[in-house]
Amino acid sequence: MAKPNTIVCDNFYSISLSIPTMEMMEEVGALIAILSQPSDVMFLDGDLGAGKTTFSRGFIKCKLGVADDDCDDDENDTQENRTEELRITSPTYLLSNTYEYTEDDDYDEDEDREQKVMEIHHMDLYRLSGKSPRDFEPLALDHVFANCISLIEWPSRLQAFPELLPPHETLLKMDIRIPDPTSDKRVMSLISSTNSSWTTRLKYLVDEGMVDDMLICSDRDTDDHTAQVDTD
């Protein structure tokens, strides 16, 4: 048996999932999409080929309403961009791909429901050097973090520039590892600051049993906020 990894979360809440297939990875992406809202930022880190883009594909397809099995939001079924042929790939060479979806705006019961067009920005920062904040100017991060949903692969490129990082209140960090290169199984950790709205949402997933078949552990399993992840 492999030695368990220990994740210390004094100021964070975390859950760890064992994901057996890439199909399930897409389903996890869709599940997180259902809970997402504008200004959410998701950092996707982990091993090469671990499934970061697969997770993003499930997330985006659900949000756009093109994956019936992964998303229960029937109101998205009539969107013009609904198509089973939608191709969602890693934006490695483009740095960022943008997808539009519609969301119900706040409305009065006596008024017609209005929909507004929102954006998802799927970024891959691998090709950026991370040596200067000017490298990130074309991405308009201030605007994206404040108004859009963003999925960011290779977020480590941002770490040297704290002024570019999103607020902890809207940030969800994900780390995907390959415990066995001969298997499709992946271990995913989802981590949020305790003062983030994501903590409430992650606890909801656990408390409602929505990830029971994949859950390895959560912070509620321990009193000292130290979670052990068995990657065997």
Kindly state whether residue 24 falls inside one of the protein's structural domains. Answer: yes
Q: What is the pLDDT of residue 112?
A: 60
- State the CATH number of the domain containing residue 52: 3.40.50.300
Q: What is the pLDDT of residue 88?
A: 80
Q: What is the pLDDT of residue 111?
A: 58
Residue 31: alpha-carbon gap to chain centroid: 10
Kindly state the helix (H) or strand (E) to which residue 56 belongs, with its residue range.
helix 52-64
On the question of pLDDT at 231 being above 70, the answer is: no
Kindly state whether residue 49 falls inside one of the protein's structural domains. Answer: yes
Kindly state whether residue 151 falls inside one of the protein's structural domains. Answer: yes
Question: What integer is the mean pLDDT of 199-216?
Answer: 94
Predicted confidence (pLDDT) per residue in 37-59, tens digit: 999 999 999 999 999 999 999 99
Q: What is the pLDDT of residue 200?
A: 94
Percent of the chain with pLDDT over 70: 77
On the question of pLDDT at 91 being above 80, the answer is: no
Q: Which residue has the higher pLDDT, 222 or 113?
A: 113
Q: What is the pLDDT of residue 77?
A: 44
pLDDT confidence tier of residue 140, bands split at 50, 70 and 90: very high
Query: How many domains, in total, are found in the chain?
Result: 1
On the question of pLDDT at 221 being above 70, the answer is: no
End-to-end CA gap in the chain: 6
Kindly state whether residue 93 falls inside one of the protein's structural domains. Answer: yes
pLDDT confidence tier of residue 212, bands split at 50, 70 and 90: very high
pLDDT confidence tier of residue 86, bands split at 50, 70 and 90: low
On the question of pLDDT at 63 being above 90, the answer is: yes
* 0.95 surpassed by pTM: no
Kindly state whether residue 137 falls inside one of the protein's structural domains. Answer: yes
Q: Which residue has the higher pLDDT, 62 or 85?
A: 62
Kindly state whether residue 136 falls inside one of the protein's structural domains. Answer: yes
On the question of pLDDT at 5 being above 70, the answer is: no
Kindly state the helix (H) or strand (E) to which residue 172 belongs, with its residue range.
strand 171-177
On the question of pLDDT at 67 being above 60, the answer is: no
Q: What is the pLDDT of residue 183?
A: 94
- C-alpha span between 213 and 222 (Å, rounded): 19
Q: Which of 199, 62, 45 is nearest to 120 (CA)?
A: 62
Percent of the chain with pLDDT over 90: 65
Kindly state whether residue 79 falls inside one of the protein's structural domains. Answer: no
Q: Which domain holds residue 22?
A: 6-65+88-103+115-214
DSSP secondary structure, 5-38, as one string: EEEE-TTEEEEEEEE-SHHHHHHHHHHHHHH--T
On the question of pLDDT at 27 being above 50, the answer is: yes
Kindly state whether residue 232 falls inside one of the protein's structural domains. Answer: no
